[in-house]
Every structure is written in C-alpha cells, then in structure tokens.
Amino acid sequence: MGLIVARGIWSACSCRDADVKRDPYPSDLADEQWALIEPLITALKQDRVKRSATGDPGSCDLQEVVNAIFYQNRTGCQWRCLPHDLPSWSAAFYYFGLWRQDGLDQRIQELLRCQVRERAKRLEDPSLVIIDTQSVRAAAGVPKATTGLDANKKVSGRKRGLAVDVLGLIIGVVVQAASVHDNAAGTALLDQAAVRQPSGEGPGGPGLKDEVLIHGTLLDIDVEVVRRNPADQGKGFVPQPKRWIVEQVNGTLMLHRRLAREYDHRPDTSASRVYWASIANMTRRLTAPAPT
C-alpha cells in the first residue's frame, strides 16, 4: 500500500511536465487578460536574453508564472506550498524577485491604470489623489528591524500607505514599520504621485501634519487633510469625504489573503504584492463587458 501511495504522489508531481491542459484556478489569467501584460514581460525577457552569456531564453511558461503569483497572492500560501501543476516554487520565486527588482510590476500597474482611466473616459493623469495609511499586523518570523508598534492603533507590524485616484486605482505604494509616523509615508507617496501627477490636489488622512503639506507645496500639489467632523461624534462609522475611496481599496486588497497580514521579510516585497493584486483587479476590469 505504501508503494502505491508513493507512486501516486510522484505521478501527481510530474504531471505538469506532460503536454496536458490543467484545470484552471479561479485566480488564473484568461488569455485576453494575459494579452494585456504579455508585451512588457516578453520585452524584459528578450532584453535579458540579449545580455545573457548563453543566449538561452529558458523554457518556463511566463503566463503560468504570473498565475502562480496570483494564486499565492489570493490564497496566502507559502512558496513551497504552490500546487504541483503550476511552475515550480523556485521558478515562481525567482521571477517574482526579478520583476520586483526590475520594477516590472510597477510598469504593468501604470500601463493598466492608464487603460482603465481611458476606458472610463478620464484623462490619463489624475487631478485628484487620495492618500492614507493602514497598519497591518506582522506574522511570526518577520524581522523586527522592519516592523514596529503603531501606538495609536495598538498594532504591531507594518504601515501600508496607498495613493489612489477617484476610481480607486493605485498610484503609489509605500510599506514601512508601523512605528513610523504618517508623515514619512505621506511624503513618500507624494513623491510617487508627483511623477504621474505634475500638479493637482491630494486629500489625506488626519495623521498627516504640516510636514506633508509643506512637501506637497514644493511639489506643486495642494494637500488637504480630511478630518472627522465633530458633529459625527458617537454616530459610529461615518464615511469621510474622499477618504472612503482609499479605505475601500484597502478592503479590496484584503480579499488577497497574502495581504491580510505582513508575511514577507522585505517591505518592498510586500509593496510588490500590492501591485500584483492591483494588476489582477485591473485585468478583470479591462476584460469585463463594457457597461451599457
């Protein structure tokens, strides 16, 4: 019986090498969605082949690598727990780190963001950007050097800052220790927004202080701090003007279980996961039937 079980496991592990179409996972890219991002990924691959000493393009299916990244983001599993019918965890881990280092995730994010805005009949550059931060608990094993305690929210982990437009599309991401003041995240997000928004307006959360307002002025961005109305005291949850948009984006990101807690050792890896979650959402938006 033990021998039969062992043979069954080996067969399941090696079936991905056979020329057999696997059953899709809910997180998989459809072919029309892959077509949206394939040119950028292929261009990077061809550039690396040209600079390679051997000129070997490799045999890994990059669409399946993206499917592996989407699967892990959505389910929250560890690299070594990726299903055997997806590329090996080492290949998926290698390409994830390579694309993060090259900034490919951000370039794909920016390309899709412009296409979604165009489909919504809006200008490519937003005139309004909303920024806010969210403290996320860190899992065991995350280095203490990259985490801290948010004394206000009583959360030990990291602080995830987002800059989004009025459509809820991500413009900038910064991940820092939760003990870092909101000003640090705010100024970093303004720098990222200034690259894509030469001038405009940027409402922010109540934790932002004068330092962010001054930094926005230097970047030709008008910063307005949205504070809670004293009249809403005791009314429970009351959506704040414009701020609810970035809070809604945070809620959408939590559908990707890998982002529900800080599992990654590197803050830039955590930021990359936000970009890939956004890419997954925007590919669905771009291939969904147009509203009538």
**Percentage of the chain with pLDDT > 90?**
57
* pTM for this entry: 0.83
Q: Is residue 250 part of a domain?
A: yes
Q: Which of 197-201, 265-269, 279-283 has the lowest mean pLDDT?
A: 197-201
**Percentage of the chain with pLDDT > 70?**
79
Q: Is residue 171 part of a domain?
A: yes
Which CATH number fits the domain that encloses residue 215? 3.30.420.10
Q: Is residue 197 part of a domain?
A: yes
- Residue 236 confidence (pLDDT): 66
Q: Is residue 23 part of a domain?
A: no
Q: Is residue 167 part of a domain?
A: yes
Flag whether pLDDT at 248 surpasses 80: yes
Residue with more model confidence, 65 or 13: 65
The number of folded domains in the chain is 1
Flag whether pLDDT at 205 surpasses 60: no
Structural domain including 173 reads 125-228+239-269
CB neighbourhood size of 120 (10 A):
12
**Which H/E stretch holds residue 163?**
strand 155-164
Q: Is residue 12 part of a domain?
A: no
Give how far Cα 292 sits from Cα of 97, 155, 287, 288, 289, Å: 41, 44, 15, 12, 9
- Residue 14 confidence (pLDDT): 34
- Residue 197 confidence (pLDDT): 62
Q: Is residue 44 part of a domain?
A: no
- List phi, psi (to 5°) of 225: -85, 120
> Which among 240, 246, 128, 121 has a CA at the least distance from the CA of 185?
246
- The average pLDDT across 2-7 equals 34
- List phi, psi (to 5°) of 123: -65, 155
Flag whether pLDDT at 9 surpasses 60: no
